[in-house]
Amino acid sequence: MVMELTIIPLASGRSLSGAIADLVKIIEGSGLDYRMTAFGTLIEGTWDQLMGVAKRCHFEAREKSERVLTMIRLDDYGERTGEIEGAVDRVEKKLGREVKK
Amino acid sequence: MVMELTIIPLASGRSLSGAIADLVKIIEGSGLDYRMTAFGTLIEGTWDQLMGVAKRCHFEAREKSERVLTMIRLDDYGERTGEIEGAVDRVEKKLGREVKK
Amino acid sequence: MVMELTIIPLASGRSLSGAIADLVKIIEGSGLDYRMTAFGTLIEGTWDQLMGVAKRCHFEAREKSERVLTMIRLDDYGERTGEIEGAVDRVEKKLGREVKK
Amino acid sequence: MVMELTIIPLASGRSLSGAIADLVKIIEGSGLDYRMTAFGTLIEGTWDQLMGVAKRCHFEAREKSERVLTMIRLDDYGERTGEIEGAVDRVEKKLGREVKK
């Protein structure tokens, strides 16, 4: 399944990029496939793998900020893998051309 | 911390209420405090308690639907409890009156 | 349709309740039916009514915070109304009893 | 500001890609900069431009599905533009290297 993870340390003010840089290290350390976007990070794995990463990221952010909002969206297609790109590929096949990604 | 949990079994068509009724039983079975709304269920507990409930609900829905979207939002204020109602109470105190809830 | 509106002024630190109190006044001023929860406010209306409220709330928050995250979820059942409570009612009917709400 | 738009036609079953292909045409027709991901589409513009696109996409989906969930997240940094890529660029600068995107 694919998870979209967004972590917002309140009290961090306008700039979130420093806090997010710390989280990227955790995500990369998991060995799972990921893609970063302007709104969060897409990561592919099993429920337990994904929630393990989400938990480490959430509590890393909590160490530096006394209030943290964490948002998780999971799209579970069952056994399929390669879905970070696969979901966009299928739309491109329906359109018969590439989209911006 | 407080979690907002929304589970959407795709392939269930327009009516989600039957699938959600099954999930309410899991949520109530956890013993955690909760409130149901039109958009999901708010539940209060620790990370591990909340993610345990979310996992059971997600895989219950997956048994009946081959694709499930699960959305989780966590608001972590640290040690505070009673926050399902506490968050609204604080807004009412700022306003000096009750809001609709 | 029913909208769930969550507005997060970054730079507001741990306490959001003062900012949210200002938004409640805008929501109540719209005359639309609403319910406040720990994670946002549910409001019922047409697309244009709901987006009018969301826009006024967003820019009210922007006046006081240089970065604002606004989250909107819309559940559009077509012509049905009374859905802020109706969605929970249907689950209760399936269960044959009341839930906590 | 940057919007993340996710439209879920319930009743569409497991495959969403056909419905999403129709929405891509609307998004591209707007002339706004966008990026498609596995969880939605990021689009940059003003509030009115973005909400115009969201409305056209929502009602296009409603023509084919009697119940539609639309999710919108807006990140409003004020006058900054180029933020679909800019938000990730800043994280890369903090890290001193590229991330997967």
Q: For A39-80, what is each residue's pLDDT tens digit?
A: 999 999 999 999 999 999 999 999 988 889 999 999 998 888
Predicted pLDDT at D40: 94
Judge if pTM exceeds 0.90.
yes
Residue A67 — φ and ψ, nearest 5°?
-140, 130
Q: How far is C14 from chain A (nearest CA, A)?
A: 6
Q: Is the pLDDT of residue A12 over 80?
A: no
Asked if D14 contacts B67 with a C-beta cutoff of 8 angstroms, the reply is yes
Q: Which of B72-86, C76-90, D42-56 has the highest mean pLDDT?
A: D42-56
CB neighbours of residue B11 within 10 Å: 15
The pLDDT of residue B88 is 93
Q: Considering only CB atoms, which chain A residues are within 8 Å of C66?
A: 14
Residue, of D11 and C82, whose pLDDT is higher: C82
Cα separation, D26 vs D19, in Å, equals 12
Tokens standing for B8? 């959407």
Could you give the CA distance from residue B36 to residue C87 in angstroms, rounded to a whole number? 10
CA distance A88 to chain D (A): 6
- pLDDT digit string (tens) for chain D, length 101 residues: 999 999 999 876 667 888 889 899 999 999 999 999 999 999 999 999 999 999 999 999 999 888 899 999 999 988 889 999 999 999 999 999 999 99
Using CA atoms, how far apart are residues D10 and D71, in angstroms rounded to an integer?
Answer: 13
The answer to whether D38 touches A84, Cβ cutoff 8 Å, is yes
Option in D14, D73, D77 nearest A39 (CB): D73
Is residue C14 pLDDT above 70, yes or no?
no
Please spell the DSSP secondary structure of D41-74, one letter per residue: EEEES-HHHHHHHHHHHHHHHHHH-S-EEEEEEE
Neighbours of chain C (3+ CB pairs under 8 A): A, B, D
pLDDT of residue D13: 61
With cut-offs at 50, 70 and 90, classify the pLDDT of residue C8: very high
Of the candidates B91, B71, B80, the one whose C-alpha atom is nearest the C-alpha of residue B4 is B71
Mean pLDDT, rounded, for B14-40: 91
User: And the tokens for B13?
Assistant: 């068509």
**Closest CA of chain D from B19, distance in Å:** 14
Q: Which three-class secondary structure string do you get for A1-67?
A: CEEEEEEEEECCCCCCHHHHHHHHHHHHHCCCEEEEECCEEEEECCHHHHHHHHHHHHHHHHHHCCE
3-state secondary structure of D75: strand
Q: Do B87 and C17 lie within an 8 Å CB cutoff?
A: yes
Closest chain C residue to D8, measured at CA: C75
Report the half-sphere exposure of D8 (CA within 13 A, side-chain side).
Answer: 26
CA–CA separation, A77 vs A94, rounded Å? Answer: 19
Q: Which residue has the tokens 């209420």?
A: B17
Chain D neighbours, 3+ Cβ pairs < 8 A: A, B, C
Report the pLDDT averaged over residues C71-86.
92
